[in-house]
């Protein structure tokens, strides 16, 4: 057995897949908690409560919907009466105990009827309830896979991947697309809920809804749906051409993903948003919808967007019959859901607004306003009077000190000190 094949067999161990699937909720929740706490930490002190509530809503809705999509909801029974029938998940991974029981029965039956090498026997005993190492996988296949019955056992113990048939391609695309869209919708709903709970006026509560929907549309089309379509189209073509090689099929699907997702996905998603969403959310800007020169004015692809195409490798793996990657899909799709929830936009039209809303509290504070004595005709004069800061409307100095900001408090103290010194000078003169 070559090294690449042994790695594939190692990852395809049912007990490994089952244990990883069991660990995904804990990984998602701990990762979400860490991200939420980090966002609270870097936010200004006065916004900590607001940021905490918003992150709790966005991450809670996103992670919850991702787990429901993959695992479903168990039936609810009260006093023996079924209140809720439950919902089946879109990924079916057997539980750890079920896998252990199946493997124990399979290996016991084989050992009763066949003589094996002592070293292979020890590995099989371990395989009943534990994950085998890469070295043990190679040893097992070399010592047991030399005869027909041994090969049959290994195929049952670690099933070979099965290519998706042409008739099942669109069923698989529908399933994977649902897995992607549910966390995105959850993120949007979580973001809206967070704004409703933290903002005071309905204008502010609903101000960011268009951006959330646009980002959700971008994440789903550019990073999920169009990539699935590209992979499925390439697979359908290869099925028609009679290509059965897993290597060629995987390469073809990656090529389809590159064309429709990585290269064209961002452009297509932005164009569709400008053509259909902008006229709905911002009628006054509907004349921008057909223009291509400002196609990235709201959303440009970033390194993280390219990184999110790792889930497309999962799409290729699933369509190639490699089921070990499926439990990781909720983690990948949750990133898209989170970005939809915060209404992330990074184009020139929105970048400054986003940076202002998500400014880092660790940045150096602005220097305190200094007051200097001026000529007799102006009692006091700020040093920036001839070059005022970028305020939309210039207000008297007394308006600034009412906000309670540390800069304004310090400026007020300086103002009082300078007033006392000036009065003392006048008294002496």
pLDDT at 383: 47
**pLDDT value at residue 369:** 45
* DSSP assigned state of 292: S
Distance CA 240, CA 252 (A): 13
pLDDT for 128 beyond 80? yes
Q: What is the mean pLDDT of the chain?
A: 78
Which residue bears the tokens 């790792």? Answer: 310
Residue 193: band (very low, low, confident or very high) from pLDDT cuts 50, 70, 90: very high
Q: Decide if 220 contacts 180 (C-beta within 8 A).
A: yes
Which H helix or E strand runs over 306? Answer: helix 303-307
Closest CA to 223 of 99, 311, 344: 311
pLDDT number for residue 171: 82
**Token duo for residue 186:** 């959850």
> CA-to-CA distance for 207 and 362, rounded, in angstroms?
27
Report residue 314's pLDDT band, with 50, 70 and 90 as the boundaries.
low
187: pLDDT strictly greater than 60 = yes
Pick the range with the lowest mean pLDDT from 5-19, 93-107, 274-288.
274-288
pLDDT at 168 exceeding the cut of 60? yes
User: Helix (H, G, I), strand (E, B), or coil: what is residue 181?
Assistant: helix
Name the pairing type of β-strands 87-88 and 371-373.
Answer: unpaired
At residue 383, φ and ψ (nearest 5 deg) are -70, -15
- Percent of the chain whose predicted confidence (pLDDT) is above 70: 70
Question: 115: which DSSP letter?
Answer: -
3-state DSSP assignment of residue 371:
strand
Q: Is the pLDDT of residue 58 over 60?
A: yes
Q: What is the pLDDT of residue 203?
A: 87
What letter would DSSP give residue 308? T
All structural domains of the chain with their residue ranges? 3-86+163-357, 96-157, 371-428
Number of DSSP helices (H) and strands (E) in the chain, helices first = 20, 6
Q: What is the mean pLDDT of residues 408-429?
A: 60
Q: Tens of pLDDT along 330-377?
A: 888 898 999 999 988 776 666 555 445 555 444 444 444 444 444 444
Task: Give the pLDDT of residue 425.
Answer: 66
Phi (first) and psi of residue 77, to 5 degrees: -125, 130
Confidence of residue 321 (pLDDT cuts 50, 70, 90): low
Quick one: pLDDT at residue 199?
92
Q: With beta carbons less than 8 A apart as the criterion, state whether 63 and 334 touch.
A: yes
Q: pLDDT tens for residues 3-24?
A: 777 887 888 899 999 999 999 9
Q: What pLDDT score does 323 carry?
A: 67
Taking residues 208-227, what's their average pLDDT? 88
| pLDDT category of residue 394 using cuts at 50, 70 and 90 | very low
Q: Taking 60 as the threshold, does the pLDDT of residue 397 lie above it?
A: no
pLDDT at 380 over 70: no
The model's confidence at residue 325, banded by pLDDT at 50, 70 and 90, is confident
DSSP code for 386: S
What's residue 309's pLDDT?
Answer: 62
């Amino acid at each position: 057995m070559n090294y690449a094949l042994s790695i594939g067999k190692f990852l395809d161990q049912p007990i490994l897949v089952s244990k990883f699937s069991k660990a995904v909720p804990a990984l998602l929740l701990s990762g979400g908690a860490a991200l939420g706490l980090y966002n609270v930490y870097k936010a200004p002190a006065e916004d900590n409560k607001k940021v905490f509530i918003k992150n709790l809503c966005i991450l809670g809705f996103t992670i919850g919907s991702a787990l429901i999509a993959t695992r479903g909801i168990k039936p609810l029974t009260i006093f023996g009466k079924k209140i809720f029938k439950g919902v089946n998940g879109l990924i079916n991974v057997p539980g750890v105990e079920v896998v252990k029981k199946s493997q124990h029965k399979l290996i016991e039956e084989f050992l009763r009827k066949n003589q094996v090498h002592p070293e292979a026997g020890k590995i099989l005993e371990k395989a009943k309830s534990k994950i085998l190492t890469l070295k043990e996988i190679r040893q097992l296949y070399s010592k047991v896979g030399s005869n027909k019955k041994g090969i049959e056992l290994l195929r049952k113990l670690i099933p070979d991947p099965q290519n998706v048939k042409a008739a099942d391609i669109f069923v698989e695309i529908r399933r994977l697309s649902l897995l992607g869209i549910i966390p995105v919708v959850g993120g949007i709903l979580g973001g809206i809920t967070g704004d409703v709970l933290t903002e005071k006026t309905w204008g502010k509560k609903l101000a960011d809804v268009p951006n959330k929907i646009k980002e959700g549309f971008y994440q789903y089309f550019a990073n999920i749906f169009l990539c699935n379509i590209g992979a499925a189209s390439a697979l359908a073509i290869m099925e028609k051409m009679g290509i059965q090689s897993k290597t060629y099929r995987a390469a073809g699907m990656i090529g389809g993903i590159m064309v429709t997702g990585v290269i064209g996905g961002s452009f297509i998603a932005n164009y569709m948003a400008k053509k259909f969403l902008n006229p709905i959310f911002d009628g006054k800007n509907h004349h921008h919808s057909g223009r291509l020169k400002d196609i990235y004015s709201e959303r440009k692809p970033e390194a993280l967007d390219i990184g999110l195409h790792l889930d497309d490798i999962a799409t290729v793996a699933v369509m190639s019959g490699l089921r070990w990657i499926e439990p990781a899909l909720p983690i990948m799709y949750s990133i898209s859901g989170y970005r939809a929830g915060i209404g992330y936009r990074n184009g020139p039209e929105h970048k400054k607004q986003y940076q202002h809303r998500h400014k880092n509290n660790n940045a150096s504070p602005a220097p305190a306003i200094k007051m200097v004595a001026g000529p007799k005709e102006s009692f006091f004069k700020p040093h920036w009077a001839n070059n005022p800061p970028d305020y939309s409307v210039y207000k008297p100095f007394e308006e600034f000190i009412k906000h309670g900001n540390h800069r304004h408090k310090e400026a007020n103290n300086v103002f009082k000190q300078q007033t006392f010194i000036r009065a003392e000078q006048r008294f002496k003169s």
